[in-house]
């Protein structure tokens, strides 16, 4: 009977050792799983923040002013690079104003509505006595009613 009891004790000790090993491994796996869940939660929060920022940017217009051309043929281009309509787009010159051909400024400015990806071209009267730089501010209203301004410098 003693050998049966010893055998039973030995089997019990082996079972305890196996159980302890399994418990230690499962604890390590659970810790790693918690780390991964935390990283996943952080990533989800970051993605949500990016989506909210993208939705915010989609409500904004971004108006850019460029001067393109060469020689005596120059064009002032007012372009909406944003995702939303820009309204009441106008330019205020800080330096000497850029001369536009045939009263185009009076006819086309302020621009009532400038859709995303669209532009308005104005023929500029550039001559040898023209300054090399024109400084100004473009102002517009976003679709949410906010008034935005952006300074620019045009170089010949």
The predicted-structure confidence for 90-142, as pLDDT tens digits, reads as follows 989 887 787 888 777 788 888 899 999 999 988 888 777 778 888 999 999 99
Number of domains in the chain: 2
- Average pLDDT for 24-49: 93
Which domain range does residue 16 map to?
1-57
Residue of 106, 109, 119, 124 lying closest to 77 (CA atoms) = 119
Residue ending a domain, choose from 57, 73, 93: 57
Q: Does residue 99 sit in the same domain as residue 151?
A: yes
Q: Does residue 93 sit in the same domain as residue 44?
A: no
Please tell me the predicted confidence (pLDDT) of residue 154: 84
Q: Does residue 28 sit in the same domain as residue 73?
A: no
Residue of 142, 147, 155 lying closest to 65 (CA atoms) = 155
Please tell me the predicted confidence (pLDDT) of residue 89: 93
Residue ending a domain, choose from 12, 29, 57: 57
Q: Does residue 48 sit in the same domain as residue 94?
A: no
Instruction: Assign 71 a pLDDT band (cuts: 50, 70, 90).
Output: low
- Where on the phi/psi map is residue 117: left (φ > 0), alpha (ψ -120 to 50), or beta? left
Looking up residue 110, the CATH number of its domain turns out to be 2.60.40.1230
Instruction: Report whether pLDDT(1) > 90.
Output: no
Global pTM exceeds 0.75:
no
Question: Which residues have CB under 8 Å from 41's CB, separation 6+?
Answer: none
Q: Does residue 106 sit in the same domain as residue 69?
A: yes
- CB 96, CB 75: distance < 8 Å: no
* Choice between 127 and 42, residue whose per-residue pLDDT is larger: 42
């Amino acid at each position: 009977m003693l050998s049966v009891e010893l055998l039973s004790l030995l089997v019990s000790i082996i079972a305890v050792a196996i159980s302890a090993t399994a418990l230690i491994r499962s604890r390590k796996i659970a810790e790693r799983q918690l780390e991964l869940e935390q990283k996943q939660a952080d990533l989800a929060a970051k993605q949500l923040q990016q989506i909210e920022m993208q939705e915010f940017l989609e409500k904004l217009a971004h108006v850019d002013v460029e001067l393109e051309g060469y020689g005596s043929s120059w064009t002032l281009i007012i372009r909406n690079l944003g995702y939303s309509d820009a309204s009441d787009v106008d330019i205020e010159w800080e330096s000497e104003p850029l001369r536009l051909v045939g009263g185009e400024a009076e006819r086309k400015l302020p621009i009532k509505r400038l859709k995303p990806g669209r532009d308005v071209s104005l023929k500029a009267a550039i001559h040898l006595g023209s300054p090399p730089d024109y400084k100004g501010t473009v102002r517009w209203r976003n679709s949410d009613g906010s008034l935005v301004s952006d300074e620019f410098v045009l170089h010949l």
